[in-house]
């Protein structure tokens, strides 16, 4: 896999073909796959497994995701698009939002087989390397939550610590870190939660959040929803009201959204 430029050595015909296919489905490619040993479209086609998922969103937005598995040294290809069925009047601001979402999606790097074989890791560190994309990410959350009487932003260790504080500062809320055990120095309350194999514990400082406060919970990604549920339980145990959970990325196949029950979830990008 080392040293393969994205799409650079593919025959032009193959590159164009890929783009055309996606345009037919109104999907723009944000990252190209490279197939070092494929010189024909047919070869590429065998490795190409386009799977579209329509997931309706509040406000009439549909997202389509093209997903290609990683076999035989191929890079992963992610296509994102958001197109709206709203009226023309709303299209202008939607276009701007769509452009920002497209930029954000294109900066997320996918790393196969991390932390273990079979897992496709969504790496947001590459988003953080793009100042405009990072700013757009924060702006999209701030636009949604500003003026909504949210007094607490709770961020889940550790990548929630990267997105939470800028949002908290912009909307005038406190930032509360939700941490792994034995990291917080003062008196804490703890919540145990299940992992795929085994359990983990999440902690919050006693006194950080008061009863009746409106809270936004933030993390970089929702998978099964286990961490977010633990955070919600901790906050509700002290009498706070969790208004919404917000993530940059959702893995919809893992149904974390369902696990949150009646708590709404807002995400920027879907990944399969």
Chain positions contacting other proteins, by CB under 8 A: 109, 111, 114-115, 121, 123, 125, 128-131, 134-135, 138, 157-159, 161-166, 168-169, 172-177, 179, 182-186, 205, 208
Nearer to other proteins, 18 or 133 (CB): 133
Nearer to other proteins, 118 or 131 (CB): 131
In order of 30, 215, 236, the CA distances from 259 in angstroms are 30, 18, 16
Triad 218, 57, 138: Cα angle to 5°: 35
Instruction: For the CB of residue 225, give the shortest distance to other proteins in the complex, in Å.
Output: 21
Nearer to other proteins, 94 or 100 (CB): 100
Helix (H, G, I), strand (E, B) or coil at 131: helix
CA–CA distance, 200 with 144 (Å, rounded to integer): 31
CA–CA distance, 18 with 216 (Å, rounded to integer): 40
Intra-chain end-to-end CA distance of the chain, in Å: 22
Nearer to other proteins, 160 or 256 (CB): 160
Whether residue 257 lies in the annotated active site: no
- Would residue 60 be called left, alpha or beta, if left means φ above 0 and alpha means ψ between -120 and 50 degrees? left
Instruction: For the CB of residue 171, give the shortest distance to other proteins in the complex, in Å.
Output: 10
- Which residue matches tokens 């961020």? 155
CA–CA distance, 200 with 193 (Å, rounded to integer): 6
Query: Which residue of the set 63, 68, 159, 179 is catalytic?
Result: 159
Instruction: For the CB of residue 267, give the shortest distance to other proteins in the complex, in Å.
Output: 19
Whether residue 196 lies in the annotated active site: yes
Q: Which of 169, 197, 167 is nearest to 268 (CA)?
A: 167
CA–CA distance, 245 with 233 (Å, rounded to integer): 12
Which residues have a Cβ under 8 Å from the Cβ of 119 and sit 6 or more positions away? 112, 113
Instruction: For the CB of residue 56, give the shortest distance to other proteins in the complex, in Å.
Output: 31
Nearer to other proteins, 63 or 179 (CB): 179
Q: Catalytic amino acids?
A: 159, 196
């Amino acid at each position: 896999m080392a040293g393969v430029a994205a799409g650079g050595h593919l025959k032009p015909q193959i590159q164009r073909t890929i783009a055309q296919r996606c345009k037919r489905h109104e999907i723009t490619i944000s990252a190209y796959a490279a197939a070092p040993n494929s010189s024909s479209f047919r070869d590429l086609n065998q490795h190409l497994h386009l799977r579209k998922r329509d997931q309706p969103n509040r406000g009439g937005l549909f997202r389509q995701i093209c997903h290609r598995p990683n076999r035989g040294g191929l890079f992963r290809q992610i296509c994102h698009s958001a197109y709206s069925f709203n009226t023309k009047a709303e299209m202008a601001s939607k276009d701007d939002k769509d452009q920002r979402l497209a930029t954000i999606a294109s900066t997320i790097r996918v790393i196969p087989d991390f932390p273990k074989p079979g897992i496709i890791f969504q790496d947001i560190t590459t988003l953080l390397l793009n100042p405009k994309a990072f700013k757009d990410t924060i702006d999209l959350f701030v636009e949604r939550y500003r003026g909504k009487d949210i007094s607490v932003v709770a961020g889940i260790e550790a990548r929630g610590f990267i997105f939470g504080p800028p949002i908290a500062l912009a909307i005038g809320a406190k930032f509360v870190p939700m941490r792994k055990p034995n990291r917080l120095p003062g008196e804490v309350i703890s919540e145990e939660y299940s992992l795929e194999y085994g359990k983990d514990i999440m902690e919050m400082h006693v006194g950080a959040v008061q009863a009746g406060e409106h809270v936004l919970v933030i993390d970089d990604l929702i998978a099964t929803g286990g961490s977010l549920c633990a955070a919600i339980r901790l906050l509700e145990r002290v009498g706070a009201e969790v208004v919404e959970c917000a993530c940059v990325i959702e893995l919809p196949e893992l149904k974390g959204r369902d696990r949150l029950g009646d708590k709404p979830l807002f995400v920027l990008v879907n990944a399969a």
